[in-house]
Homo-oligomer: A and B are copies of this chain.
């Protein structure tokens, strides 16, 4: 069975040494709450909860899956009890508004905890995870009454939430939805329609489930401008605010999926269910988009979490498994063969996992600071929001693509054993596979990055980020130890701007050039962004070693991983630049009927 140990040393490296979280918290209005003692307690208790409670349920949850019986969903053994412990530990309220029972801690701490949850048990984590988006929507757009009725219950954890967007015929293109909302007497609406892929849409872990549902009002404008957002509780709250009468929303079935078996993915049928409008009519999609950054970064965290846990288990196996001798002669002559960690290609795979995990952690924790700043508002918040908008599709798509690669390396290191359920390595791959799809596929993220976030504002937000990278490179210019990192980074940072311009020019002639370049462009952006964080990590490690740290293993390992990243992963940008330069002609040339001419007779 796979094991998991919260990577507290590396988490602290990123928080304390790379990104100076103490200083960051000192500048937040709610930063006082995040005292070193509190942060410490959260890390320690979070580690304990995820290592001891969630990890042991991950493999059994996968094997058992969710059971669907006539509208009810039974979650895997132990999930319900773990959720109870989670609520008793006060975790659901940690980063929520104090006015509604929250503890008011910065969002970033929730994201650190979330990394551990995603490593230990992604399927379980999605039950409380989905509540977050719903809570955000209620907090920002709900009436005071709605907040008191629903939000307080969700913050205490006794109720959970969902987001009901997708329908059978539309996922990406929400303008096509058909779910209807007919006004009833008073302030309510009758919601009817079918939603699919509703994570945690039905389960046995909470007393009530608060669905946030996209639907169309009568006479609403066509397409995405005519979508409104509604609260549809599974049980309508009674006079005392407890779960009351059963509402007209039913789980019709659950999906049988490649992974995340422990999470219920529901078809939800709304049949004149009583719903309540959130905010103004026809603004539903924009309310959703506001929460999208957090949700998408949440999926990036899933990629990170799975990368980390796969790495940990692959490392243990690579040290233990004896097979062949090193090409340069025996390294463990006393044994029948050498442990496979001696082989360069096994090291390449382990280092790929480690580089994506630790680099991805730095990137995500950086965006966590931005999210804190956005919450705090003001001028800083506005600037943070722009940067966050830029980095969100990179975090979401790049770190999930990296997570899929990394978890696959985890299988590969185990050889044939990696393919067997028992070892748990293939579950990480199956679970990771969904992260490239939901909350917007990699292709959609890429269009968001290149089209919306960059070209639509003439590269303004990209320039803000590349300026920051440029500044870092300039500062380190004279540092001879840093040349090997800063020189290639500076070059790529400049190239990033150049290829953006290049695509922008082409796109003025032909809009399809944006879509043709987008995924390569996103991956390119991801490699450069991670290089920036790896360069920073290298700098901190070099300083620690220069200052005579006693933790030489940690810092030397960090530095060596930075070197690996720059020499073995970052050169992937070369191919991406080349394919971007090729443009879209070879994609668009073929007629639709020519694709299948080899088998369609």
Contacts and interface: CB of A to CB of B under 8 A. Distances in A.
A599 B328 contact: no
Nearest to A321: B169
A597 B511 contact: no
B429 A416 contact: no
Determine chain A's interface SS by DSSP, over half rule: helix
Interface in A583-597: 584-597
Nearest to A589: B560
B426 A556 contact: no
A519 B348 contact: yes
A98 interface: no
A41 interface: no
B557 A590 contact: yes
Interface centre among A322, A344, A446, A572 (most CB of B within 10 A): A344
A339 B28 CA distance: 48
A412 B598 contact: no
A88 interface: no
Interface in A410-458: 411-412, 415-416, 418-422, 426, 429-430, 433-434, 436-438, 441-443, 446-447, 451
Contacts of A593: 553
A326 B419 contact: no
A412 B443 contact: yes
A339 B591 CA distance: 13
A429 B258 contact: yes
A345 interface: yes
A563 B586 contact: yes
Contacts of A7: 598-599
B560 A571 contact: no
Given A416-B438, A422-B256, A582-B568, A344 B312 contact: no
A230 interface: no
A323 interface: yes
Interface residues of A, number: 117
A358 interface: yes
B328 A511 contact: yes
A429 B433 contact: yes
A259 interface: yes
A348 to B, nearest CB: 5
Contact of A578 (B351, B451, B510, B574): B574
Contacts of A6: 599
Contacts of A518: 344-345
Interface stretch (A8-16, A284-292, A384-392): A8-16
Interface stretch (A75-83, A147-155, A170-178, A463-471): A170-178
Contacts of A430: 258, 430
A257 interface: yes
Interface in A560-586: 560-561, 563-564, 566-568, 571-575, 578-579, 582, 584-586
8 contacts: A5-B599, A5-B600, A9-B600, A171-B416, A327-B515, A412-B441, A560-B586, A571-B582
Minimum-distance CB pairs A-B, first 4: A557-B594, A10-B598, A571-B578, A7-B599
Interface of A: 5-10, 13, 166, 169-173, 176, 197, 255-259, 308, 312, 315, 319, 322-324, 326-328, 336-337, 339, 341, 343-348, 350-351, 354, 357-358, 404, 408, 411-412, 415-416, 418-422, 426, 429-430, 433-434, 436-438, 441-443, 446-447, 451, 510-512, 514-516, 518-519, 551, 553-554, 556-558, 560-561, 563-564, 566-568, 571-575, 578-579, 582, 584-601
